[in-house]
């Protein structure tokens, strides 16, 4: 998974709602829970509830999707998270170029990563997933219907030699 400056989501629960998926998870910074995140599945934005809501308000600022600066009074943890979001590169969508990320976008990316990692770990219990260096794709894997072990690694090294790329099972085990 990407280094997210110490941020990660845990306890992700999703189900289908009236207008999209419902979502519930917690946002952690350096192993400490800093916010709860809820999407009620009714077509609105994420509700991000920072746990330090009783702390004195501070100035939180950034750049919105229209490339305009914004600021508001938020919690200290919210300011730290927004400062991290402000460091992220822009991205392109089908509607606009150089879109500045917002807190919701970043959390949704983290949720997608967490869910994908969970799915891949489940697959890796019964299969070995690997890449080859001469392939153009970075995140498409070949699979062997056998759980990963040293014998499987030796087989892959013998068969593919220097062309053997990543073995996802090793990455997910760490």
Whether residue 55 is found in the same domain as residue 11? yes
4: which 2 tokens?
Answer: 């997210």
Helix, strand or coil, per DSSP, at residue 103 = helix
Whether residue 66 is found in the same domain as residue 135? no
How many structural domains is the chain composed of? 2
Whether residue 90 is found in the same domain as residue 50? yes
Residue 35 to residue 84: CA distance in whole angstroms: 15
Q: Which residue has the tokens 């970043």?
A: 106
pLDDT score of 93: 84
Domain limit, last residue, from 66, 91, 115: 115
With CA atoms as reference, report the closest residue to 34 among 11, 61, 7. 7
pLDDT score of 2: 64
Whether residue 62 is found in the same domain as residue 130? no
pLDDT score of 17: 79
pLDDT score of 60: 97
Under a CB-based contact definition with an 8 Å cutoff, are residues 139 and 165 in contact? no
| Domain around 88 | 7-115
Mean pLDDT in runs of 10 for the chain (174 residues)?
A: 85 86 94 96 90 97 89 98 95 86 95 93 94 82 93 95 92 82
Asked if residue 120 belongs to a domain, the reply is no
């Amino acid at each position: 998974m990407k280094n997210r400056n110490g941020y990660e989501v845990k306890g992700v629960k999703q189900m289908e709602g009236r207008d999209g998926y419902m979502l519930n998870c917690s946002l952690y910074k350096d192993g400490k829970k800093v916010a709860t995140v809820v999407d009620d599945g009714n077509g609105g934005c994420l509700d991000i509830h920072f746990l330090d809501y009783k702390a004195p308000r501070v100035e939180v600022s950034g750049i919105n999707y229209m490339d305009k600066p914004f600021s508001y009074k938020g919690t200290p943890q919210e300011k730290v998270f927004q400062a991290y979001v402000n460091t992220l590169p822009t991205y392109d969508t089908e509607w606009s170029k150089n879109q500045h990320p917002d807190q919701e976008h970043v959390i949704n990316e983290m949720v997608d990563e967490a869910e994908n990692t969970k799915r891949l770990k489940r697959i890796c219990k019964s299969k070995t997933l690997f890449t080859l260096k001469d392939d153009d794709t970075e995140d498409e894997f070949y699979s062997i219907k056998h759980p990963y072990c040293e014998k499987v690694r030796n087989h892959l090294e013998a068969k593919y030699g220097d062309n053997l790329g990543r073995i996802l099972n090793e990455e997910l085990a760490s």
